[in-house]
Structure 1
């Protein structure tokens, strides 16, 4: 056997070994959510995203994807939770997902939002609550009002992880833009104030004024005494009655307890947050709703009584 023949055999053996190794690598079993979110970007950034989100993906996989094709962006349904590495990578480039809309309106509470999500996506409310509490310690006010397109078949865990991560990213962006930094405790104090404004204001124009009323009452040690704070959780749509005020012993009862509640009372728009960061320069302490649904504001209790009449 000549040297050239030997070298050729070694070459082909090496190629065969490489091919077998690749086939073996692609046959490795892996686990995945049946529905996953794929960001836009380069294959390298997609690989990095998947790796950070606990998928069994590494730098070598980008070379395989370059051969198979670029992954779809957005929500995709790969159909299985247990499959081979090769099948997973292939499905990333070919699969799509059926999407449905879910809307969180400003002022609505997680209590009703989770009920709605449970119906639309056929998920258990208990699983949604468990997932929500896994990713945040705030019972409300974290997920921002918006219409979200989410895929059918998504898990409760992934549903909440995505919404909370996306919202927290926007919370941080706004905080840095307006305040120059993001301090979670400070920021969610603003969100808590804003959640009361969201419940009380008739429109966006009133928000900075009601924000000022809150600060003015706090400044003189006056209880906030705002019905909106009692529209938390399951009480979001109930009218606040004198009996309810008397019986409610939670810190959301601003008639009994001075200061602001410990947590937001519902979802909060960016306008409401900005209204308590930059409140109106007014001295109002009181306001009453008119028949048109807007409010009349006053600085004295005497004038407030006249406005009520």
Structure 2
């Protein structure tokens, strides 16, 4: 009958196609099932502590489900010559990594690096706080080392701290790096940046220490780069005439904490950094200056200005005489600056 398919025969070419497709479909199905039911891999940060034994590392990896056999992992490390090459720090691992790859990663010190930007104008303490927050650097050790006399001497820095020499820029720092290593890299960056300017500093009869101190004050006083050489000229003009610098930023530094407004009572603080009380430069930098401020300290503008007052918009009014300066201050007050 016409509705029966019992005697239907497929062409030989079609049979060949089915024979080819069936194994492919079966293989694909098997792969799909394996991937679908396989436990998902988990990525995580893993911290190898300083001085931690390989056995301790292996035990923690087993607890996290990364390896199955602690002793086998330790034996493998000896075979590969990695037993004593494991470097401390933070690593990015996942539960699907093979033991060989883990050992290679730990042995080569392929630690997690984080991008940390240090802005211009920060003190040692402020810098340490950012490093602690973003790169897990121990801030208390960092601050302590910045005042370590042997480390300061090693860098060839004058004074009793590394204030002013932690160059502000963007760094890629291994998570949990040793504070001493971070300090070294920041100071090396400073000297790399400033070294080409040394001949000009010397030819102007200044020391590098003086330039860094002056640049740090410029950094805190000037918001606009175009005004930095002018503020530098005011500092040099006052120094040349034997006038006190009377820079508010040095009072802020002497107080040890930021004040929204420097009051008359603050000007009485007894500190060698208070330039309302001392003549000449303070004993050290008050922050880490950026390159624009360092350049302004080296190449100040040539002006007859001895005074300036902030307008409240980031810029300043510069004056040659005290009378002009007082008029400028009254004008700023009237405008609510």
Structure 1 residue 305 displacement after superposition: 1.2
RMSD: 3.4
Match of 1:167 among 167, 190, 200: 190
Distance 1:231 1:158 in 2: 30
Q: Which residue of 1 aligns with 2:54?
A: none
Distance 1:172 1:146 in 2: 17
Identify the range of structure 1 (191-200 vs 144-153) with the bigger mean alpha-carbon deviation: 144-153
1:249 paired to 2:303: no
> 2:201, 2:208 within 8 Å by CA — same for their partners in 1?
no
Distance 1:213 1:102 in 2: 34
> 1:222, 1:258 within 8 Å by CA — same for their partners in 2?
yes
Structure 1 residue 113 displacement after superposition: 1.2
Q: Which residue of 2 aligns with 1:102?
A: 116
Q: Which residue of 1 aligns with 2:138?
A: 124
The count of aligned residue pairs is 237
Distance 1:275 1:219 in 2: 17
Gap regions ≥5 residues in structure 2: 1-77, 94-100, 153-159, 331-337
Q: Which residue of 1 aligns with 2:257?
A: 235
The 3 A distance-change label for structure 1 pair 33 and 239 is farther
Using the size of structure 1 for normalisation, the TM-score is 0.66
1:150 paired to 2:164: no
Structure 1 residue 253 displacement after superposition: 0.2
SS at match of 2:137: coil
Match of 1:192 among 185, 207, 213: 213
SS at match of 2:288: coil
Q: Which residue of 2 aligns with 1:72?
A: none
The 3 A distance-change label for structure 1 pair 237 and 155 is farther
Q: Which residue of 1 aligns with 2:88?
A: 34
Task: Compare CA radii of gyration and give the structure with the larger one.
Answer: 2
Q: Deviations over 1:217-261 (max 9, x none)?
A: 111111000102223284356532211111x21111000000011
Distance 1:251 1:102 in 2: 33
SS at match of 1:218: helix
Q: Which has the higher contact order (CA 8 A, sep 6+)?
A: 1
Structure 1 residue 31 displacement after superposition: 6.8
> 2:87, 2:109 within 8 Å by CA — same for their partners in 1?
no
Distance 1:292 1:78 in 2: 46
Q: Which residue of 2 aligns with 1:7?
A: none
> 1:194, 1:276 within 8 Å by CA — same for their partners in 2?
yes
Structure 1 residue 28 displacement after superposition: 9.6
Q: Deviations over 1:178-221 (max 9, x none)?
A: 4479x9x9102101001111111131111111111111111111
SS at match of 1:235: coil
Q: Which residue of 1 aligns with 2:324?
A: 303
4+ long deviations beyond 6 Å: none
Q: Which residue of 1 aligns with 2:129?
A: 115
